[in-house]
Amino acid sequence: MSFVVGTAGHIDHGKSTLITALTGIDPDRLEEEKRRGMTIDLGFAYLPLPSGRLVGIVDVPGHARFIRNMLAGVHGLDAVLLVVAADEGVMPQTVEHLEIVDLLDIRRGLALVTKVDLVEEDWLELVTAELSETLGRTSLRDVPILPVSALTGQGLDELKARLDALLAETPAREDRRRPRLPIDRVFTISGFGTVVTGTLVDGSLKVGEEVELQPSGRRVRIRGLQQHGQRVEHARPGSRVAANLVGVEKEDVRRGEVLAHPGTVPATRRVDASVRVLSGSPRSLRHGAQVLLHTGTIEVPARAIVLAGDEIEAGGSGWVQLYLGRPVAVSEGDRFVLRLPTPSATIAGGTLADVNPRRHPRHDERVWESLERRAAGDVLQEELRKYPRGITVQGLLKATLADGADVSTLDARRAGQWLFAPEAWAGITGRVRRALEEYHRVHPLRAGMPREELKSRLGLAPPAFTPVLAELASDGTLADRGGELALPSHQVQIDSGAGGPAGRLLEILGGHGFAPPSLPEAMREAGASVEVVRALAQKGDLVRLSEDVAFTRATYDQALALVREMVASEGSVTVATMRDRMGASRRPVLALLEYLDAQRITRRVGDQRVLR
């Protein structure tokens, strides 16, 4: 099991010196750091503890100007070593670093009063009391306070023993099989090329595998991995990792990018988050405020959309949507800190709840209720709500990174591979009803709307249409009448009374018994349109036997009765016997028998037809 701990504390309070005394490694590696005697950027070391446990250490700068570097160093920490110099006591960045640790909700650590060689016993007591009080307001309220000195070595053994005991009780980092390495350093090693380092979370990395840098999307391969200066084949979550990459130049990678398996951690420019504003914040978090979002090793400008009210006051909390200045790769559940750029101040922090949200209306409680349920673990159901046109099961699982999750328990309507939230389904049903009502009103003679028309009106993803239609037909929202879609209640309205084209058509056809004029001819004579014919057929007043032969209902019933009678007496009918019996020409008789075959009333056996 691997762990990572980080330092925190005011400038010059002895953080780096303490790390050197503990590990023999000087975390201040930059020439400028040596010259100025201060830490500027993150430094790294590792410490073997008495139990054999190896701990990665991230040393941060205390100077207020380098707070952004400090912020890149505190992600993924198992514990914090808060360092306070005995001669100075609690100072501004002691407080600010503690606030950041608190906003990130890091609860484990040790508070170290260092440089004890410089002070008297009673002064040390005062400083300890002050520190204890300061810690009491933060997530580190329960950590022990130890006096130490890097100079004399006082307390260092106890420090290691305490840290060892602390980590023995620290659970291993969760392996979500979705490794993310938020990059905090990029450099080159001659002969090897580009190396990136970071604290690995959420999964393991392997030598040889293909990975992706986000947000650039660049694909690279891991040539080698190192942990604490040792080559390894596997790096586990919760450890400091250096990855040697093939396929990218040093110049093309920077802090804030994330190394992940391809396609698993997409970049986003919008996130929803729950936010808590520090009670000591100099300002409230106003709607529309320009802030800096720090999460993982990312620092990105953002605009805060306060979803309820116009601001979140100091000490208060609420939901915000953040519009980011550029795409970044983050995950739901990630902790973050918000700072104001000028004058620079840490004001708030929280947890990301949705990294691919829609734009929200403000002051709409449904929005934060949904976010609350999502944050409470109802991710699939709340994600589904974002798709008014439905989403495939696979798409939903991908969007929520919930590979094998069970979708059968969701409150959802399923149509084939498609899932719809109840509101989405109600929306679709409503649109279908309105479209069909309108269509029936405009086209009362038509059986229904052509499929393709409804398809384009509904605007669903094309593959969703057929399963949705089947579902709508099975729940009785619509009826599929031979490819035309209608409300189940729809009846073709045709007035077949005398005088109108429909009436005339029936009159002309009916007037000639079994030998009517051809249908096109009769239509011309009656002035009846194709629609009228279709409507009459639909209503049942007319039976279309073929393209050009139609009988009135009465004629058809008579003809059918004749067929039944003939079969009953003769055993079968043929075109010839029926022609004689009906006293008609061959054309309508053939059309009639073929129609009866098609209707599965008769069956053809050679020249003969028998009843089925």
Ligand X SMILES: Nc1nc2c(ncn2[C@@H]2O[C@H](COP(=O)(O)OP(=O)(O)OP(=O)(O)O)[C@@H](O)[C@H]2O)c(=O)[nH]1
Positions in the binding site for ligand X (CB under 6 A): 9, 11-17, 37-39, 61-63, 114-115, 117-118, 149-151
Nearer to Mg ion, 69 or 400 (CB): 69
**b/e per residue 349-379 (b: at least 16 CB within 10 A):** bbbbbbbebeebeeeeeebbebbeebbeeeb
DSSP state of 358: P
Candidates 10-18, 88-96, 196-204, 242-250; binding stretch for Mg ion (CB under 5 A):
10-18
Closest separation between CB of residue 414 and ligand X, Å?
Answer: 58
Closest distance of CB 33 from Mg ion, Å = 8
CB-count exposure of residue 564 (10 Å: 0-12, 13-18, 19+)? middle
Q: How far is the CB of 86 from ligand X (least distance, A)?
A: 8
Backbone angles phi, psi at 201, to 5 degrees: -130, 160
Tell me whether residue 115 or residue 579 sits nearer to ligand X (CB atom).
Answer: 115
Tokens read off for 268: 């986003």
Angle between helices 575-582 and 553-570 in degrees, nearest 10: 120
Residue 93 interacting with Mg ion (CB under 5 A) = no
Give least dist CB 19 to Mg ion, A: 8
Least separation, in Å, of the C-beta of 258 and Mg ion?
A: 26
**At what angle are helices 519-526 and 501-510 packed, to 10 degrees?**
140
CB of 138 to ligand X, least distance (A): 19
Cβ proximity of 573 and 593 under 8 Å = yes
Cβ atoms of 321 and 306 within 8 Å: the answer is no
477 binds, among Mg ion, ligand X, none (CB under 5 to 8 A by kind): none
62 versus 318: smaller Cβ distance to ligand X: 62
Half-sphere exposure of 147 (CA within 13 A, CB side): 18
Which of ligand X, Mg ion, none is residue 385 near (CB under 5 to 8 Å by kind)? Answer: none
> Rounded to an integer, what distance in angstroms lies between the CA atom of residue 469 and that of residue 450?
12
Residues 515-544 that bind Mg ion (CB under 5 A): none
130 binds, among ligand X, Mg ion, none (CB under 5 to 8 A by kind): none
Residue 114 binds which of ligand X, Mg ion, none (CB < 5-8 A, kind-dependent): ligand X
Q: Between residues 26 and 525, which has the closer beta carbon with respect to ligand X?
A: 26
Nearest distance, CB of residue 101 and ligand X, angstroms: 15
CB-based closest residue to ligand X: 62
Residue 436 binding partner per list Mg ion, ligand X, none, with a CB distance cut-off of 5 to 8 Å that depends on partner kind: none
Q: Which does 118 bind (CB under 5 to 8 A by kind): Mg ion, ligand X, none?
A: ligand X
CA distances from 154 to 123, 158, 523 (A): 17, 9, 111
Nearer to Mg ion, 40 or 314 (CB): 40
52 binds, among Mg ion, ligand X, none (CB under 5 to 8 A by kind): none
Q: CB of 179 within 8 A of CB of 200?
A: yes
Mutual orientation of helices 586-598 and 553-570 as an angle, nearest 10°?
80
Residue 150: name its binding partner from ligand X, Mg ion, none (Cβ under 5 to 8 Å by kind).
Answer: ligand X
Q: Is 485 helix (H, G, I), strand (E, B) or coil?
A: strand
Q: Which tokens belong to 342?
A: 């000028």
Q: C-beta of 151: minimal distance to ligand X in Å? A: 4
The listed partner (Mg ion, ligand X, none) that binds 14, CB under 5 to 8 Å by sort, is ligand X
Work out what residue 393 binds among Mg ion, ligand X, none; the CB cut-off runs from 5 to 8 Å by kind: none
Q: Which CB, 32 or 249, lies closer to ligand X?
A: 32
Output the smallest distance, CB 143 to ligand X, in A.
18
Under the binding rule (CB under 5 A), the answer on residue 2 touching Mg ion is: no
- Positions in 205-224 near Mg ion (CB under 5 A): none
Report if residue 16 touches Mg ion, rule: CB under 5 A.
yes
Q: Is residue 15 part of the contact set for Mg ion (CB under 5 A)?
A: yes
Output 9 or 109, the one with its CB closest to ligand X.
Answer: 9
Residue 578, helix vs strand vs coil: helix
Of the pair 66, 514, the CB lying nearest ligand X is at: 66
Angle between helices 92-103 and 121-135 (to 10 degrees): 40
* Beta carbon nearer to ligand X, 31 or 251: 31
Q: Which residues pair with 340 in a beta bridge?
A: 345
Closest residue by Cα to residue 235 from 248, 221, 222: 222
**224 has which bridge partners?**
244
As a whole number of angstroms, the distance between CA 20 and CA 154 comes to 14
DSSP-based helix, strand, coil % in the chain, nearest 5: 35, 30, 40
Residue 11, contacted partner among Mg ion, ligand X, none, CB below 5-8 A by kind: ligand X
Query: Residue 250 has what DSSP assignment?
Result: G
CB of 300: closest distance to ligand X in angstroms?
25
By CB under 5 A, the residues from 33 to 92 that bind Mg ion are 39
Q: Which of residues 115-154 bind Mg ion (CB under 5 A)?
A: none
In angstroms, give the least distance from the CB of 228 to ligand X.
Answer: 21
CB neighbour list of residue 599: distance below 8 Å, 6 or more residues apart: none
Listed in sequence order, the DSSP H helices in 443-552 are: 451-458, 462-474, 501-510, 519-526, 530-539
Question: How many of the chain's residues bind Mg ion (CB under 5 A)?
Answer: 3
Q: Shortest gap between Cβ of 256 and ligand X (angstroms)?
A: 22
Angle, alpha carbons 600-602-604 (nearest 5°): 110
Question: Smaller CB distance to ligand X: residue 39 or 477?
Answer: 39
Residue 412 near residue 419, CB atoms below 8 Å: yes
For residue 180, the minimal CB distance to ligand X (Å) is 27
Q: Which residues pair with 241 in a beta bridge?
A: 198
Shortest separation between residue 151's beta carbon and Mg ion, angstroms: 15
Query: CB under 5 to 8 A by kind: which of ligand X, Mg ion, none does 413 bind?
Result: none
- Residue 63 contacts which entry, ligand X, Mg ion, none (Cβ below 5-8 A, type-dependent): ligand X
Question: What secondary structure does DSSP assign to 423-471, as a single string?
Answer: HHHHHHHHHHHHHHHHHHHH-TTSS-EEHHHHHHHH---HHHHHHHHHH
By beta-carbon proximity to ligand X, the closer residue of 162 and 564 is 162
Return the one option of Mg ion, ligand X, none that residue 117 interacts with (CB less than 5 to 8 A, by type): ligand X
Query: Which one, 116 or 468, has the nearer CB to ligand X?
Result: 116
Return d(Cα 257, Cα 63) in angstroms, integer: 24
Would you say 17 or 370 has its CB closer to ligand X? 17
Measured from the CB atom, the residue of 115 and 335 that comes closer to ligand X is 115
**Contact positions vs Mg ion (CB under 5 A):** 15-16, 39
